[in-house]
Amino acid sequence: MNYLKFNLSKSNVKLSSIQKIIMKTLTYLGLTANPDFENNIDNVRVWLVEFDEDNVPTREIGIDENNNVILKMPYKKNYGYWTDNELLYNDFINRFSAVKIDRLEFEKNWSLL
């Protein structure tokens, strides 16, 4: 397993007005992939992501501006934010300037929530 850490929030991704309305409606109806954490995704400032041997994201942790773990996915009925995309290990390094971390740091944060 490999692990990366990077700074990026969902608020950095610009959505159109229509997309925002659709997202709010889906969240209100409970039709999101991450019902327990959807409202916290915008508050994530640091992401920790675990990758399998094929360099595919398998688990993710979101940390807020106060260094508190505010989400972890997949977990219970939450599918995931980064685990639900086509990006691979090197894409995170190239696109988000992600840096390597060790398993201990990842697992320590995973156990906090």
Q: Which residue has 């106060």 as its token pair?
A: 66
Cβ count within 10 A of residue 35: 14
User: What's the pLDDT tens digit per position in 86-104?
Assistant: 899 999 999 999 999 999 9
Q: How confident is the model over 39-90, as pLDDT tens digits?
A: 788 899 999 999 999 999 999 999 999 999 999 999 998 888 899 888 999 9
45: Cβ–Cβ under 8 A, 6 or more apart, which residues? 7, 9, 63, 64, 65
pTM here is 0.81
